[in-house]
Structure 1
Amino acid sequence: MDPAGRVRSVAATAGAVVARWPWWVQVGGLYVGARLVSACIFMAAALHQGVNPWFPAKPDYWSFVNIWDARWYGEVLRNGYPDVLPTDGAGNVQENAWAFYALFPMLGRVVAGLTGMHPAFTLTLIAMACGLGAALVIYRLFRLRAPHRTALWGTVFVATFPVSPVLQLPYAESLNLLLLATALLLVLERRYLWAMPVVVLMCLSRPTGVPFAAMMGLLLLYRLWQYFSAARATAPGTAPGPANVGGAVPSGAVPQAGAQLWSLAGLTVVSGAGALLWPVIAWAVTGDIQAYTKTETVWRGHDLVPFKPWFDTGVLLFGPVLGILAPFVFVALFAWSMMCRPVRALGTELRLWCACYMGYLLMFLHPQTSTFRMLLPLFPLALGAALISRSRAYRGTVVLMFLLLQIVWIVWLWAWAPLPGGGDYPP
């Protein structure tokens, strides 16, 4: 047998052995492998890190991953949140901890208190554990819409996504991803009451409460339409039509759907309240009803005007004509992708989530380099990408390109290098 054939034979034998492992071992092993690759990229980038605001050049791994927003989470863990918003001499609110939601640093405080570990290491450990948990839940979620192999590839796409290294950093993304995936899994399984506490915790981890509440509101309207359509189909004397040709609605289906609607309505209310929870907490502590929004807009450098930052960025990148058209083209391309067959296979709930989250980004986000990181909650689209083709060559190429783009993200955005005008692009 030639060497290439021998390699293929060994690979096939290894694949057959791995395929017999439990699903959670397969998912966990692939996720840990992806994080080890990312760790190697971080360590290689750290060797080239020059002088920076945090530590000497060529830092070790743990120092290198505890920069940027990780420092803010560490500040919250140690000192909590300010009772009064810090301002400059002109009365303008300055950067402060209220921009960073409380669940992640509070978990770090609990674990650090119980174990005596250093806060920075505690937050990193929690982030890595939550990332692994998120991968397991995402696989379970994907299995509701695809067979094992495709769901596994979709999970691998999430684990190797260009910004996936953030899942092993002391950032709240991994915790939020775990809670978001769990909430979506419970919604798909129609266990709405169980989803309520998960959604509340999710709303205290990162600002995903508003789009989730919007998704739940639209899903409630859709389920109401289905309910009344089914009720009409079971009404006495109803003539057969497109909705009920081929058989009657099963007995008891309409009352059961009615009970589910009440649970769904309750989850919608809880989601809406959860979306307002963190701004209300900031108001209660500081006495300023706009404490959270004032803090968030500090990083923008201007007040929040919905949609406008996308046009401003478009003009900056593409000029006064194409720049105005760019956001419309982007929205059209996203709408087209949501109508493609692989994405339609995700089902109503996951497509609604992706649409609502993208709408939230378009309305409130100031597009910048941090935008790449904020695309992570669109993770259901990874399953759509896996459904495009069952070809191992295609799927393997996607993973390879994602890993190469991880190098770009870490070297370009995570590693600090001063810009000519000062500062650096944030990751």
Structure 2
Amino acid sequence: MIQTVDERTPMKGLGRIAAHGASWPWWVHVSLIYVAARLVSACIFMAAALQQGVNPWFPPAPDYWNFITIWDGRWYAEAANNGYPSTLPLNSSGNVAENSWAFYALFPYLARALGALTGLATLPALTVIAMVAGLGAAFVVYKLFREFAGRNTALWAVVFFSTFPVSPILQVPYAESLNTLLLAASLLLVVRRKYLVAIPVVLLMCLSRPTGVPFAAMAGLLLVHHLWKRFGRRATGALPEFGTLPRAAHVPTPRELASLGALVVVSASGALAWPAIAWAVTGDPLAYTKTETVWRGDDLVLFKPWFDTGQMLFGPVLGVLAPFVFVAAFALLMMSKPVRALGTELRLWCTCYMGYLVVFLQPQTSTFRMLLPLFPLALSAAWLSRSKAYRGTVVVMFILLQIVWIVWLWAWAQLPGGGDYPP
């Protein structure tokens, strides 16, 4: 007798594999997603490194591990190895020169501690912390998304987070991965109304990157919102139109209001902690601000850089209107149905963070990297359509934009006037 092979057998086998995979714990799925995304980014980094020419750090065509340590990674290493200057350095013109006060201390000091424990050199220690913190951030981001969405949608949102065009920053010795971990944990605790538990996490977040000001603003506005719900008009109980796990209306208790008030005070104090430390060490009350503005070349003037950049890009008339158009477009995004489904806390965070950028930031190529804290919008993007074609297209476009970001901004190529655009 001749045995025949059922052509459907391989498909049945794949189906069994898929069914078995679906039963794996959530952290296995998130790990596989995140590690796969980082391997893709690593391949892009390695390809770009082969094309890297003469640069300020090492010979052309460096290996992967050297290539990912350039730019601010060297500043974090400086802070870890030598600490922070007690006197602000000056350049030949008598102005404050670039120095490590622009780089918050939690990340480099963790690397110093890891190096002391393991014997690792500073840059490898920074890289290890960044990679571990990035994976931890993916775990916490998933748990945050599960507060609002089902398992499949939350996993797709983690895919978007892990493949976002600037997501390669999560695997290099920058503080973004550590800050994202602490920010996501802070937001998760706030969403769960564990305000007192959030306090130490928020304080650590405030010492990792300058996200304390918008977080304090978010917490303050959330307190006002809850006070209105408690003592003003009662919540209507309307539920979001998107998501599989809508959150029921909740009227805060007096204890929750007091706890949230404490979080507001502590987060506001934490937001000022690093500038205050710089003042205490250097004796200059504007030490941090002076250092931050060195890279932009101008003094800090609120809002003005957006209009300057608008006029540079779009001319004297349209350039003045450009910031208003941008703010209006973002406001419409915040009022869209998929974003409204994120709930009050995450919508307030996205609004306050973008407001912080508009008030203080000088738009430049680094702005793309600074959009990473808007990661809750990944869940809104996953809600926009359940079509596999749509979601797959988003991932492909994100990976293509990673190539653009790494080749254009991470790889160093001297501009005609000197220097290069920073990532």
Structure 1 length as normaliser, TM-score? 0.92
Q: 2:355 aligns to what?
A: 359
- Distance between the aligned counterparts of 1:199 and 1:216, measured in 2? 11
SS at match of 1:368: coil
Q: 2:276 aligns to what?
A: 280
- Distance between the aligned counterparts of 1:362 and 1:56, measured in 2? 39
State the Cα deviation string for residues 40-83 of structure 1 (Å, max 9, x = none): 11001000000111000000011101100000000011100000
- One-letter amino acid matched to 1:94: A
Q: 1:85 aligns to what?
A: 88
Q: Does residue 1:42 correspond to 2:42, yes or no?
A: no
- One-letter amino acid matched to 1:81: Y
Q: 2:383 aligns to what?
A: 387
Alignment of 1:248-263 (within 5 A): 257-263=253-259
- One-letter amino acid matched to 1:201: L
In structure 2, do the counterparts of structure 1 residues 226 and 112 end up closer, same or farther at CA, with 3 Å as the change threshold? same
SS at match of 1:411: helix
- Distance between the aligned counterparts of 1:206 and 1:12, measured in 2? 45
Q: Does residue 1:170 correspond to 2:173, yes or no?
A: yes
Q: 2:394 aligns to what?
A: 398
Q: How far has the Cα of 1:322 moved from its partner?
A: 1.1
- One-letter amino acid matched to 2:338: P
Q: Does residue 1:350 correspond to 2:329, yes or no?
A: no
- Distance between the aligned counterparts of 1:382 and 1:33, measured in 2? 18
Q: How far has the Cα of 1:325 moved from its partner?
A: 1.0
Q: How far has the Cα of 1:20 moved from its partner?
A: 1.1
Q: Does residue 1:183 correspond to 2:179, yes or no?
A: no
Alignment of 1:311-390 (within 5 A): 311-390=307-386
- One-letter amino acid matched to 2:360: F
Q: 1:300 aligns to what?
A: 296
Alignment of 1:138-153 (within 5 A): 138-153=141-156
Q: Does residue 1:291 correspond to 2:287, yes or no?
A: yes
Q: 1:250 aligns to what?
A: none
Q: How far has the Cα of 1:91 moved from its partner?
A: 2.3
Q: How far has the Cα of 1:90 moved from its partner?
A: 3.5
Aligned residues: 408
In structure 2, do the counterparts of structure 1 residues 190 and 67 end up closer, same or farther at CA, with 3 Å as the change threshold? same
- Distance between the aligned counterparts of 1:321 and 1:95, measured in 2? 34
SS at match of 2:148: coil
The percentage of aligned residue pairs carrying the same residue is: 69
Alignment of 1:209-288 (within 5 A): 209-229=212-232, 257-288=253-284
Q: How far has the Cα of 1:14 moved from its partner?
A: 3.9
- Distance between the aligned counterparts of 1:14 and 1:418, measured in 2? 50
- One-letter amino acid matched to 2:227: L
- Distance between the aligned counterparts of 2:327 and 2:106, measured in 1? 33
In structure 2, do the counterparts of structure 1 residues 106 and 16 end up closer, same or farther at CA, with 3 Å as the change threshold? same
- Distance between the aligned counterparts of 2:176 and 2:349, measured in 1? 17
- One-letter amino acid matched to 2:276: V
SS at match of 2:260: helix
In structure 2, do the counterparts of structure 1 residues 382 and 5 end up closer, same or farther at CA, with 3 Å as the change threshold? farther
State the Cα deviation string for residues 235-260 of structure 1 (Å, max 9, x = none): xxxxxxx969xxxxxxxx97x71110
Of 147, 156, 160, which aligns to 2:159? 156
- Distance between the aligned counterparts of 1:364 and 1:52, measured in 2? 31
Deviation larger for 85-94 or 27-36 = 85-94
- Distance between the aligned counterparts of 1:383 and 1:374, measured in 2? 18
Q: How far has the Cα of 1:118 moved from its partner?
A: 1.3
- One-letter amino acid matched to 1:51: V
In structure 2, do the counterparts of structure 1 residues 367 and 6 end up closer, same or farther at CA, with 3 Å as the change threshold? farther
- Distance between the aligned counterparts of 1:171 and 1:149, measured in 2? 30
SS at match of 2:272: helix
Of 196, 200, 213, which aligns to 2:199? 196
Q: Does residue 1:24 correspond to 2:27, yes or no?
A: yes
Deviation larger for 351-360 or 17-26 = 17-26
State the Cα deviation string for residues 377-408 of structure 1 (Å, max 9, x = none): 00000000000011111111101110111000
- Distance between the aligned counterparts of 1:307 and 1:414, measured in 2? 27
- Distance between the aligned counterparts of 1:319 and 1:11, measured in 2? 57
Q: How far has the Cα of 1:15 moved from its partner?
A: 3.1
- Distance between the aligned counterparts of 2:318 and 2:290, measured in 1? 32
State the Cα deviation string for residues 358-377 of structure 1 (Å, max 9, x = none): 00000000000000000000
State the Cα deviation string for residues 194-235 of structure 1 (Å, max 9, x = none): 0000000000000000000000000000000111137xx7xx
- Distance between the aligned counterparts of 2:14 and 2:347, measured in 1? 36
In structure 2, do the counterparts of structure 1 residues 44 and 90 end up closer, same or farther at CA, with 3 Å as the change threshold? closer
**Structure 1 alignment gaps of length 5 or more:** 234-241, 245-252
In structure 2, do the counterparts of structure 1 residues 257 and 91 end up closer, same or farther at CA, with 3 Å as the change threshold? same
- Distance between the aligned counterparts of 1:42 and 1:16, measured in 2? 34
SS at match of 2:140: helix
